[in-house]
Amino acid sequence: MLGDLTGRKALVTGAGSGIGRGIATVLADQGASVAVTDLSQQWADETAALITDASTLSIQMDVTDSASVNAAVGQAISQWGTLDIIVNNAGVARAPSGQPEDDWDVTYEINVRGVVRCCEAALPHMQERGYGKIVNIASMAGHGGRRSGGAYAVSKAAVLRYTRGLAAELASSNINVNAICPGAVWTRFQQEGARVRQQADPSLADRDIEDLFHERYDPVIPMGRPQTPEDIGKTTAFLVSEDSRNITGQCIHVDGGVILRD
């Protein structure tokens, strides 16, 4: 079986929703025990309830809070004795305040520092064992050069740079560090984006937000279709399995070919 994770122990951040839920359920399908962590305990519980054939933990964890991150990583290690896999998926597009100037601090704190906190919490354990797999969920937005893309795009470019640097540092410890860049996935994240566009343009007021999502993304995706949380989960399963043991410091684009556009 490709991406076999039998016996592996994983922790996924932001796993209560969307892509993180897809990752958690696919890793469990592939045989891993999964710590489902999220800012929302209720959403984490909902994802954990979908996992019936594997050991799972449901943990409230805020990636902006070192104590919370350290406690969640510690809980997984004390439950299972080891932690083989960290998937840094939690992320936001903008600040909840709706003030664009706040976006810089909020996206940096969650999307960048959140990834760093989780890696630093797990690394002493992984380095001691000489084994570990880290996957960071970045974005196609981290690559674009056509527009600035704002705080979100810059935060994802930072995740990609951090991924490469950490991979180089940890290669001799047998720890693989890779990134995945999704293109467009219909999740709460995109629902919120569609609502923001709708509120800014009165002509969109009566439109279905999922239609707005397809109208925005389908034409720019060479394969003409958005991606699913399971698409991202399957690529994650490959990257955290022994099938990819000699792949590190890379970014896999799961975007239907968006990265190929001029």
- Enzyme catalytic residues: 152
d(CA 130, CA 255): 32
Phi, psi dihedral angles at 177 (to 5 degrees): -130, 115
Helix, strand, or coil here: 7? coil
Establish if 62 lies at the interface with ligand NAD (CB under 6 A): yes
**Which of the residues 89 through 128 are near ligand NAD (CB under 6 A)?**
89-92, 110
Q: How far is the CB of 111 from ligand NAD (least distance, A)?
A: 6
80 CB neighbour count, 10 Å cutoff: 18
Helix, strand, or coil here: 127? helix
Q: Which of 38, 84, 103, 231 binds ligand NAD (CB under 6 A)?
A: 38
Establish if 221 lies at the interface with ligand NAD (CB under 6 A): no
Indicate if the alpha-carbon torsion angle 27, 33, 36, 37 is positive or negative: negative
Residue identified by tokens 């109208």 is 215
- Please name every residue paired with 227 in a beta bridge, in sequence order, or none if there are none: 185
**Which of the residues 11 through 30 are near ligand NAD (CB under 6 A)?**
13-14, 16-20
Q: Which of 40, 42, 99, 199 binds ligand NAD (CB under 6 A)?
A: 40
Residue identified by tokens 């990134």 is 179
Establish if 56 lies at the interface with ligand NAD (CB under 6 A): no
Q: How many residues bind ligand NAD (CB under 6 A)?
A: 29
Q: How far is the CB of 197 from ligand NAD (least distance, A)?
A: 14
> Which residues lie near ligand NAD (CB under 6 A)?
13-14, 16-20, 38-40, 43, 61-64, 89-92, 110, 137, 139, 182, 184-185, 187-190
